[in-house]
Amino acid sequence: MFNSSLQQLGSALRAGQISSVELTQLYLDRIAALNPALNAYITTDAGTSLAQARAADTMLANGTAQALTGIPIAQKDIFCAKGWRTTCGSKMLENFVSPYDAHVIGQFNNAGAVNLGKTNMDEFAMGSSNETSYFGTVKNPWDQSRVPGGSSGGAAAAVAARLCAAATGTDTGGSIRQPAALCGISGLKPTYGVVSRYGMIAFASSLDQAGPMARSAEDLAMLLNAMAGFDERDSTSLQRDKEDYARDLSKPLDGLRIGLPKEFFAEGLGNDVAQTVEAAIAEYKKLGASVVEISLPNSKLSVPVYYVLAPAEASSNLSRFDGVRYGYRAPEYTDLADMYEKSRAQGFGAEVKRRIMIGTYVLSHGYYDAYYLQAQKIRRLIAQDFTEAFKQCDVIMGPTAPSTAFKLGEKGDDPVQMYLSDIYTIAVNLAGLPGMSIPCGFGANDMPVGLQIIGNYFDEARMLNAAHQYQLATDWHSRAPQGL
Ligand code: GLN
């Protein structure tokens, strides 16, 4: 059961081979057994999950079930879910119970899926290792002395350890793709605006995008079908016709033109990752694809540009956490200003404070032109590089991350080293393009390696097709960590 695809689970549920209550209980038992070590979930609530499962069983019995009805999905703890504690990995929201559903949560509820619990994450989605979570680090299921990646590390670990059928994540600079790579699962960040950000706690609003995390491209397509769609409550949600992201899965890859950015295969990339990714490209050639070298000349500026723009937006978004309306309030203070200061000083962790300070600095009078405005200009150049590249190719491929999962604590004292974990993913967010990561083998210490696939705007169906055909020809995506 734990290795079944979403398609298979849906069929088993509709055929009455298993009920949603039974399936949900199986997962809850597995979470109870394995989560104390892995720490992939911040909150589970068996009563609420099982009540949803019973409702799903009613839909299954009366013929109103949809594709995901009755299937237990883990939700990143960045999504507000009515009646659920929603922490965003922060002490600031430790006791916050959401009074409403995020769009993504609502979409899964409408589909009859079961919310299995809220997954661990870096505080306010700031991090690449899940070590900034107030609720403790998540362990990589392949080697518990290593990080799962971040910020959607709990989601990636939960999928890899079979603690859910599938999960949601969010990706501002790589937070779906990088943990997917480090945990050996598949993850997709859609084109900016395809999935509504309503009720998704804001980090950097012009970059944030929700997406699915699962074991296969086929599962991702099914999840994206549920998540995508216009929502008037998010002003950046795009009004487009509904599409079936699974429509092209079975197309052959003959004639697919793959662009390989020379900047992605240069200094800084681990040899083990380079070799594994090159083997995956060779497999694509066998499947009928052709390869062309491309250049993304400004991509080297994506990390510095991101670390101006994302903190700028974060410093503004996080000003709402002031101890007044909701969230943490310092127990003792002298006056209003002191209450703000103490609540924020005690409620936020070190990385979040670092970002707020950088963001406030680059937006301040005298530095705005020097940093923020310059970064916005380079952001445009980075996007133009992709526009040029897509004149020569249909998809771009390369590594998702420069190395396999590193040791817990290894990069904790060096924020710049940590920031470089996203060197291959961030440009995609700056351009608003869709990107995904799929498992393509194992590198140093037998840890999983991710292949990144970047598509042109709204080309998710083609990317999923490319990923699915590779997964039909290989079995990296169905490998599971041993000993769990
Ligand atoms: N690791 C990057 C950061 O720390 C990206 C995080 C994300 O995508 N949410 O900001």
Catalytic residue among 19, 20, 49, 76: 76
Ligand 1, from 79, 121, 151, 205: best to mutate by most atoms within 8 Å of Cβ? 151
Identify residue 185 by its one-letter amino acid code. Answer: I
**The ligand 1 atom nearest the CA atom of 170:** 9
- Ligand 1 mutation target, pool 422, 428, 437, most atoms within 8 A of CB: 422
Atom of ligand 1 nearest to the CA of 351: 4
Stronger pLDDT, 417 or 27, i.e. the higher one: 27
Q: How confident is the model at residue 484 (pLDDT cuts 50, 70, 90)?
A: confident
Residue 469 clears pLDDT 90, i.e. is over it = yes
The three-class DSSP label of residue 69 is coil
Phi then psi dihedrals of residue 146, to 5 deg: -120, 160
State whether the beta carbon of 128 lies less than 6 angstroms from ligand 1: yes
- Position 483 scores a pLDDT of 86
Mean pLDDT of the chain: 97
- Is 175 touching ligand 1 by the criterion CB < 6 Å? yes
pLDDT, tens digit (0-9, with 9 covering 90-100), for 321-372: 999 999 999 999 999 999 999 999 999 999 999 999 999 999 998 899 999 9
Identity (one letter) of the amino acid at 37?
A
Burial grade of 381 (CB within 10 A; 0-12, 13-18, 19 or more): middle
Whole-angstrom distance, CA of residue 418 vs CA of residue 402: 11
In this prediction, residue 170 has a pLDDT band, given cuts at 50, 70 and 90, of very high
The answer to whether the CB of 209 falls within 8 A of the CB of 194 is yes
Cα of 377 from ligand 1 centre, angstroms? 21
Where residue 426 falls among pLDDT bands split at 50, 70, 90?
very high
Summarize pLDDT for 385-422 with one digit per residue, the tens. Answer: 999 999 999 999 999 999 999 999 999 788 888 898 99
Tell me what the mean pLDDT of segment 207-215 comes to. 98
The answer to whether 391 is a known catalytic residue is no
Angle CA 349–140–225, to nearest 5: 90
Rg of the chain over Cα atoms, rounded to whole angstroms, equals 21
pLDDT tier for residue 69 given thresholds of 50, 70 and 90: very high
Where do runs of H (alpha helix) occur along 15-162? 20-38, 46-62, 103-110, 153-160
216 catalytic, yes or no?
Answer: no
Mutational test site, ligand 1, from 172, 302, 423, max ligand atoms within 8 Å of CB: 172
| Contacting residues for 262 by C-beta, under 8 A, at least 6 apart | 293, 294, 295
Is residue 127 within 6 Å of ligand 1 at its C-beta?
Answer: yes
d(C-alpha 382, C-alpha 425), whole Å: 12
pLDDT of residue 443: 98
Omega prior to 315 cis, within 30 of 0? no
Arch. (CATH architecture) of 6-252: Alpha-Beta Complex (3.90)
Q: Active site includes 364?
A: no
C-alpha span between 69 and 48 (Å, rounded): 16
Q: Which of 98, 128, 151, 437 is catalytic?
A: 151
Look up residue 302 and give its two tokens. 């994506």
| Per-residue model confidence as pLDDT tens digits over 75-100 | 999 999 999 999 999 999 999 999 99
Q: Which residues pair with 74 in a beta bridge?
A: 117, 167
Output the CA 172–ligand 1 centroid distance in Å.
Answer: 6
**pLDDT score, position 389:** 98
Give the number of other Cβ atoms within 10 Å of residue 479's Cβ.
Answer: 15
Probe residue for ligand 1, chosen from 77, 168, 175 as the CB with the greatest number of ligand atoms within 8 Å: 175
Strands 257-261 and 395-399 come out as parallel
Cα distance between residue 417 and residue 419, in whole Å:
5
Pairwise CA distance, residues 301 & 304, whole Å: 6
pLDDT at site 338: 98
Domain layout of the chain by residue ranges: 6-252, 300-378
Q: Using a 6 Å cutoff on CB, does residue 151 contact ligand 1? A: yes
pLDDT at residue 38 tops 90: yes
- Measure 173 CA to ligand 1 centroid, in angstroms: 5
**221 contacts 68 by C-beta, under 8 angstroms:** no
User: For residue 211, what pLDDT is reported?
Assistant: 98
pLDDT confidence band for 442 (50 / 70 / 90): very high
For residue 65, give every residue at least 6 positions away whose Cβ sits within 8 Å of its Cβ, in sequence order, or none: 10, 13, 14, 56, 59, 112
Region 192-210: what's the mean pLDDT?
98
Confidence band for 275, pLDDT divided at 50, 70 and 90: very high
In percent, the amount of the chain with pLDDT more than 70 equals: 100
Instruction: Kindly state the tokens that stand for 286.
Output: 């066998």
Does 439 have pLDDT greater than 90?
Answer: yes
Q: Which residues of 56-94 are buried (b: 16+ CB within 10 A; e: fewer)?
A: bbebbeeeebbbbbbbbbbbbbbbbbbebbbbbbbbbbb
Separation CA 484–CA 482 (nearest Å): 6
Which atom number of ligand 1 is nearest to the Cα of residue 426?
Answer: 5
Helix (H), strand (E) at residue 396: strand 395-399
d(CA 452, CA 461): 15
The answer to whether the CB of 452 is under 6 A from ligand 1 is no
pLDDT at 228: 98
Residue type, 303: V
How far away, in angstroms, is 285 Cα from ligand 1 center? 32
pLDDT at position 336, please? 97
Decide if pLDDT at 33 tops 90. yes
For residue 424, the CA-to-ligand 1 centroid distance in Å is 12
pLDDT in tens, 306-335: 999 999 999 999 999 999 999 999 999 999
Interval 37-56 mean pLDDT: 98
